[in-house]
């Protein structure tokens, strides 16, 4: 049985390359992949080098600040940068739209800014060429053109009955044609994999981590499965179609609907079912709750006035100037604790809404393998929404620690008695700034990434199982004539 399948696969492979149009199309796609790989490599080097450069500059400027009051340093703030994962050259995901840096300061959470899309002339709205885009959208088109007449042409020419009469079963014919088409894709895919491994290793400075290696392995595996699914669907459509023309029209209609129209529909449906606040509404909701909780900068605020009274009573003094620590720093630390909880609560609620919107697209992966692959690909290359949210959370943790560090320095090292007009302003040594570590973003480990993509992985597995079952048992419904 395997011998007949191999024979059919070899004949399919040879027949494809005997056709000059197919050969030209394959070469054109190969060149597109080479171009996409080069663009992704250059994009990564340029953007990541810029981020690392300004990250080092921000750190140097922070350390170079002179002796200051720590609260002034808390408001001077810090600029955190989101570094790119070395595999992001393969799939840009939302990289160009998500923003790359966030300004961290006391009492306030800022948004992530300076996305690449904000500095383009609008052409980015038409999409970027990446290896993932070519493999997800253009390779299926090649597969469709390779296989749309794989069986229908045999039926039209009358050779299908002859093949089936030569002790070849429908199962063997379907599997042989599918493997033949897959082998053509592998002729392009294998060199691309080798090139990807080389570039990935060079972008990692040849310091390859096990987590990154497993990401790449899974990335290759999922794209191979996707190519198999597309090839099997193409052969099955050709087997059921009454003519090559109807087969090609059906496949092209499916490509337009499932890869162009459907993703946009699911996004619109997700936003309609789970509407999110506008930026103004979001900021207003936070400001309202912060106002209700109290203003740490207002000495007459009831909440903080109560804290003042309790401190004076606990230390048996009648003036905050007599407290054994800096009262202003204590109040700022308390205010930071309250406002940080409010900011984080609202941001978490907003992120949950975005996750619900994205879940609509993920569930639709059971109807469209392209959507499930897209989610998995972005997750493995750390260019997805979850990575963006994780950066926000790590940056917020750093911001809170920085603010409270400055408050702690104020509490311990700043006097309660303000200097006179002719005296030097209260300040501490610049050596204290080095105690605040630099911000370094750490990517989530693969097991955590996969745990968030179980639905998308299940959808792709579902499609793999369905296509295998159809190749095995669809002969019951296919007509020879």
When pLDDT is cut at 50, 70 and 90, the band that residue 29 belongs to is confident
Task: Please tell me the predicted confidence (pLDDT) of residue 122.
Answer: 44
Does the pLDDT value for residue 123 go beyond 50?
A: no
When pLDDT is cut at 50, 70 and 90, the band that residue 126 belongs to is very low
* pLDDT per position as a tens digit, 191-212: 888 888 888 888 777 888 888 8
Task: Please tell me the predicted confidence (pLDDT) of residue 54.
Answer: 92
Percent of the chain surpassing pLDDT 70: 95
Does the pLDDT value for residue 329 go beyond 80?
A: yes
Does the pLDDT value for residue 390 go beyond 50?
A: yes
Give the residue carrying structure tokens 């383009």: 120
Inside any domain, residue 210: yes
Number of domains observed in the structure of the chain: 1
Does the pLDDT value for residue 230 go beyond 50?
A: yes
Domain of 464? 2-476
* pLDDT per position as a tens digit, 288-302: 888 887 766 666 778
Percent of the chain surpassing pLDDT 90: 38
* pLDDT per position as a tens digit, 49-58: 888 999 999 9
Does the pLDDT value for residue 222 go beyond 60?
A: yes
Task: Please tell me the predicted confidence (pLDDT) of residue 481.
Answer: 67
Task: Please tell me the predicted confidence (pLDDT) of residue 125.
Answer: 45
Q: 465-468: long-range contacts at Cβ-Cβ below 8 A with a sequence spacing of 24 or more?
A: 467/228, 467/229, 467/232, 467/233, 467/236, 468/232
Task: Please tell me the predicted confidence (pLDDT) of residue 419.
Answer: 79
* pLDDT per position as a tens digit, 256-287: 999 999 999 998 998 899 988 888 888 888 88
Average pLDDT, the chain: 87
* pLDDT per position as a tens digit, 66-99: 999 998 998 888 999 988 888 888 888 888 777 7
Does the pLDDT value for residue 354 go beyond 50?
A: yes
Task: Please tell me the predicted confidence (pLDDT) of residue 107.
Answer: 82
The predicted model scores a pTM of 0.88
Cβ atoms of 196 and 68 closer than 8 Å: no
Closest CA to 88 of 448, 386, 377, 447: 377
Evaluate the CA torsion angle 220, 225, 226, 228 in order and state its sign: positive
Could you tell me the two tokens for 227?
């190519």
Inside any domain, residue 364: yes
Task: Please tell me the predicted confidence (pLDDT) of residue 121.
Answer: 42
Closest CA to 153 of 229, 247, 233: 247
Task: Please tell me the predicted confidence (pLDDT) of residue 399.
Answer: 93
Task: Please tell me the predicted confidence (pLDDT) of residue 114.
Answer: 52
Inside any domain, residue 481: no
Task: Please tell me the predicted confidence (pLDDT) of residue 1.
Answer: 52
Inside any domain, residue 55: yes
Task: Please tell me the predicted confidence (pLDDT) of residue 127.
Answer: 54
Higher per-residue confidence, 214 vs 277? 214
Task: Please tell me the predicted confidence (pLDDT) of residue 37.
Answer: 86
| Residue 337: burial class (beta carbons within 10 Å; 0-12, 13-18, 19+) | middle
Inside any domain, residue 336: yes
Mean pLDDT, residues 450-468: 95
What's the 3-state SS for 39-76?
Answer: HHHHHHHHHHHHHHHHHHHHHHHHHCCCCECHHHHHHH
Mean pLDDT, residues 167-179: 89
Mean pLDDT is highest, among 127-136, 263-272, 364-373, for 364-373
What's the 3-state SS for the chain?
Answer: CHHHHHHHHHHHHHHHHHCHHHHHHHHHHHHHHHHHHHHHHHHHHHHHHHHHHHHHHHHHHHHCCCCECHHHHHHHCEEEECCCCHHHHCCCCCHHHHCCEEEEECCECCCCECCHHHHCCCHHHHCCCCHHHHHHHHHHHHHHHHHCCCCHHHHHHCHHHHHHHCCCCHHHHHHHHHHHHHHHHHHHHHHHHHHHHHHHHHHCCCCCCHHHHHHHHHHHHHHHHHHHHHHHHHHHHHHHCCCHHHHHHHHHHHHHHHHHHHHHHHHHHHHHHCCCCCHHHHHHHHHHHHHHHCCCCCCCCHHHHHHHHHHHHHCCCCCHHHCCCCHHHHHHHHHHHHHHHHHHHHHHHHHHHHHHHHHHHHHHHHCCHHHHHHHHHHHHCCCCHHHHHHHHHHHHHHHHHHHHHHHHHHHHHCCCCCCCCCCCCCCECHHHHHHCCCCCCCCCCHHHHHHCCHHHHHHHHHHHHHHHHHHHHHHHCCCCC
């Amino acid at each position: 049985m395997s011998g007949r399948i191999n024979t059919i696969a070899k004949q399919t492979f040879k027949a494809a390359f005997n056709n000059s149009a197919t050969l030209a199309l394959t070469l054109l796609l190969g060149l597109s992949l080479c171009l996409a790989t080069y663009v992704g490599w250059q994009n990564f080097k340029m953007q990541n080098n810029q981020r690392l450069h300004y990250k080092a500059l921000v750190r140097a400027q922070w350390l170079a600040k002179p002796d200051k009051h720590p609260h002034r340093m808390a408001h001077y703030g810090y600029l955190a940068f989101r570094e790119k994962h070395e595999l992001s050259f393969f799939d840009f995901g939302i990289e160009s739209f998500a923003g790359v840096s966030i300004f961290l300061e006391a009492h306030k959470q800022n948004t992530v800014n300076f996305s690449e899309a904000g500095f383009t002339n609008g052409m980015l709205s038409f999409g970027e060429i990446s290896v993932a885009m070519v493999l997800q959208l253009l390779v299926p088109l090649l597969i469709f053109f390779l296989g749309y007449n794989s069986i229908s042409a045999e039926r039209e020419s009358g050779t299908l009955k002859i093949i089936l009469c030569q002790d070849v079963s429908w199962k063997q014919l379907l599997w042989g044609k599918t493997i033949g088409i897959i082998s053509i894709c592998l002729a392009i895919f294998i060199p691309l994999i080798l090139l990807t491994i080389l570039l990935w290793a060079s972008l990692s400075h040849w310091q390859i981590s096990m987590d990154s290696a497993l990401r790449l392995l899974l990335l290759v595996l999922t794209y191979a499965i996707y190519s198999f699914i597309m090839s099997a669907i193409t052969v099955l459509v050709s087997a059921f179609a009454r003519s090559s023309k109807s087969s090609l029209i059906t496949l092209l209609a499916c490509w337009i609907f499932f890869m162009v129209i459907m993703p946009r529909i699911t996004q619109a449906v997700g936003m309609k079912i789970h509407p999110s606040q506008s930026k103004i509404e979001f900021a207003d909701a936070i400001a309202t709750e912060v106002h209700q909780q109290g203003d740490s900068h207002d000495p007459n605020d009831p909440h903080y006035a109560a804290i003042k009274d309790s401190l004076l009573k606990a230390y048996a003094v009648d003036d905050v100037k007599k407290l054994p620590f800096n009262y202003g720093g204590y109040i700022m630390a308390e205010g930071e604790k309250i406002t940080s909880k409010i900011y984080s609560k609202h941001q978490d609620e907003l992120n949950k809404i975005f996750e619900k919107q994205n879940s609509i697209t993920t569930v639709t992966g059971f109807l469209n393998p392209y959507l499930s692959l897209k989610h998995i690909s972005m997750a493995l290359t750390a260019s997805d929404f979850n990575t963006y949210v994780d950066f926000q959370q790590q940056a917020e943790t750093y911001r809170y620690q920085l603010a409270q560090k400055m408050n702690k320095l104020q509490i311990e090292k700043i006097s309660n008695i303000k200097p006179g007009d002719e005296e030097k302003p209260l300040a501490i040594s610049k050596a204290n700034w080095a105690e605040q570590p630099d911000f370094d973003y750490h990517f989530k480990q693969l097991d955590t990434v996969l745990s968030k993509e179980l639905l998308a992985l299940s959808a792709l597995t579902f499609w793999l199982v369905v296509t295998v079952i159809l190749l095995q048992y669809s002969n019951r419904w296919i007509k020879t004539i």
